[in-house]
Structure 1
């Protein structure tokens, strides 16, 4: 397994120490969505948390309530919308850090990722053990980088509910974080290989 400690990954401290402007959820969405849809630069996303709360997503609600079949049906219903976003999704490079065994949320999210990869997104999965040595002062941040001028630390409450984001515009910091996200991405495993081995054989998750 890759030794990220020896490689000197600085993402966590660098993001935490860099000033930024906090945006509540609605202003964050109003700002980020047009940037994502209208931009031309590659998009880099890092996901570290193992459980989120997404009450606005019907498939998540169904899975959370224990109706796995309905959750999968609703994911299939998301495919036309994802195909309509294929141009933006094709620019997105997502690194998903995964613990073992996968949480119920992660098991559900990986089903969504199947649809997202079919629509053009590139996703790689990195085992959480690979980053343990660089998380001595806390988990790696949830990040979205939109080109060389703006990066967001995505913020969540204790229950995993989206609270907005913290906008960072220091170009030097963004450059370093982009380089390190690219390295994490390269170290990750192809999503479909991970899914076939770790997720596909699992029974429906227990959420109760």
Structure 2
């Protein structure tokens, strides 16, 4: 486990990307990737999504929200198959705090569909981070093919707002090793879901 200093992301070394620029660059890099894996570390417990399932949940329509998540399965299966053909995979480590926030309960249902479609997702608790967060939560990070690191940026409300790109080789490798270690120590998403989420009552959305 690295120390916190080794995982610092100095703003002076990064380049801020708008949401549009980040999405475009990320899609291109992933599409061109061959025989290299990518890694995501997701820490925050609250976000605001921009998709139909999330909007249905916010309106209090839980069953509709789950139905809409299920409709994404076919596209997810195709993406997972394409990744296998290219010799690449997207590994995701999701830090989960309990008791679950309403958002997190919704997201775990979304991740369940992704995992069932072949996406590689594991769960860790904050305890797995040891003393790394004594000065505050770790950032949201994506490492694509060992070549570039993105610190994902969100607004105060939790809406995706672009990223900061880092290309320093050693920094990218340190984060990749860190996320990989967490992934190897984590619990499979489906196992965690059946053990800790499946039995829960529908979450209540925040008042809007």
TM-score, length-scaled by structure 1: 0.90
Partner of 2:204: 206
Secondary structure (helix, strand or coil) at the match of 2:118 reads coil
Partner of 2:38: 43
Partner of 1:67: 61
Q: Is it true that 1:25 corresponds to 2:19 in the alignment?
A: yes
Q: CA deviation at 1:164?
A: 0.3
Partner of 1:152: 150
Q: CA deviation at 1:13?
A: 4.3
Residues 131, 18 of structure 1: alpha-carbon distance in 2 compared, 3 angstrom cutoff: farther
Residues 8, 38 of structure 1: alpha-carbon distance in 2 compared, 3 angstrom cutoff: closer
Q: Is it true that 1:82 corresponds to 2:79 in the alignment?
A: no
Partner of 2:192: 194
CA distance in 1, matches of 2:30, 2:59: 31
Q: Which runs of 4+ in 1 moved over 3 A?
A: 7-13
How many residues end up aligned between the 2 structures? 201
CA distance in 1, matches of 2:180, 2:12: 20
Residues 12, 196 of structure 1: alpha-carbon distance in 2 compared, 3 angstrom cutoff: farther
Contact 1:125 1:188 in 2 (8 A): yes
What CA deviation, in whole Å up to 9, does each residue of 1:72-97 have, x standing for no partner?
Answer: 01011111211221123860110000
Residues 191, 9 of structure 1: alpha-carbon distance in 2 compared, 3 angstrom cutoff: farther
Contact 2:46 2:104 in 1 (8 A): yes
CA distance in 2, matches of 1:109, 1:12: 30
Residues 133, 92 of structure 1: alpha-carbon distance in 2 compared, 3 angstrom cutoff: same
Partner of 1:97: 95
Residues 178, 92 of structure 1: alpha-carbon distance in 2 compared, 3 angstrom cutoff: same
Partner of 2:178: 180
TM-score, length-scaled by structure 2: 0.90
Contact 2:2 2:178 in 1 (8 A): no
Stretches of structure 2 lacking an aligned partner (at least 5 in a row): none
Contact 1:12 1:138 in 2 (8 A): no
Q: CA deviation at 1:142?
A: 0.5
